[in-house]
Each structure stands twice: as structure tokens, then as C-alpha cells.
Amino acid sequence: MKTKSIFAIAILALAATFTSCKKDKENPTITVETPAEHADTKWGETVHVNATFSDDRDLASYHVTVVDAATNGEHIHSFGFMEHGDISGTSYDFHSHFDVPTDAPEMAWISFEVTDAEGKVTELTWMQHFSE
């Protein structure tokens, strides 16, 4: 009887160990609702950015900015748009906007970077076009 009790306790301990050590296997996801990719916006107009950041376990932070397609992703300061923050939970709805300056390049990217609580990072660039 004593052997059966020890065996049962060992089995329960093993089961608890395997169920409590779930690893974060997924990178965070980024779903952009607006603007549409390759949208054409006139200089001087406002671009509304709506996206959802998700993770199977827990989110940690985000960074969203406008970067120059011609310089391999350098931040374009004339847009005045750089959003970042700490977040938590498994889903976060991002809402922001920026005005397109009259000296904006004809093409740029909205750059998204989301990090989860385990340090996994997902990056996404969303091409945009600007004109008169």
C-alpha cells in the first residue's frame, strides 16, 4: 500500500511539472486594419493607423513609426510619428494617426515591432504611397 501511495504521488508531481511549464511557442502577431497596404494618401491628409497585436501568452511592448523605404528603414522625422509603449494581456488594439507632410517621400513604410513577455519579436512593414 505504501508503494502505491509513493507511486501515485510521483505521478501527480510529474503531471504538475509538465502542465505548469508551458513554454511560449508562438511569436506575437500583428494584424493591420487600416490603412490598406499600398494605400495612396495625399500630402497634407491624415493617415489613421488601426492594428491588433496578439500573443498566445502575454504581450510586453510595441513600437510603431514611419520609416523611409529608400534608406532601408530609417525613421522619417518630418512625419512626427513614433509611438511606443508597454502592454500586457494577450491582445492589444492600437489606434493612432499621423499627418502626411507636404515634403513626404512618394513611398514610405509604417513599421510595426511587437515584443511578447518571453522576448520574442515580430516586425512588419506596411508600404504606403504619398502624392499631391
The pTM for the full model equals 0.81
pLDDT of residue 10: 54
Q: Chain centroid to CA 101: how far?
A: 25
**The dihedral sign for the CA sequence 100, 101, 106, 111:** negative
Contact 99, 46 (CB under 8 A): yes
CATH assignment, 24-131: 2.60.40.10
Q: pLDDT 10s per residue in the chain (132 long)?
A: 555 555 555 555 555 555 445 666 799 999 999 999 999 999 999 999 999 999 999 999 999 999 997 787 789 999 999 999 999 999 999 999 999 999 999 999 999 999 999 999 999 999 999 999
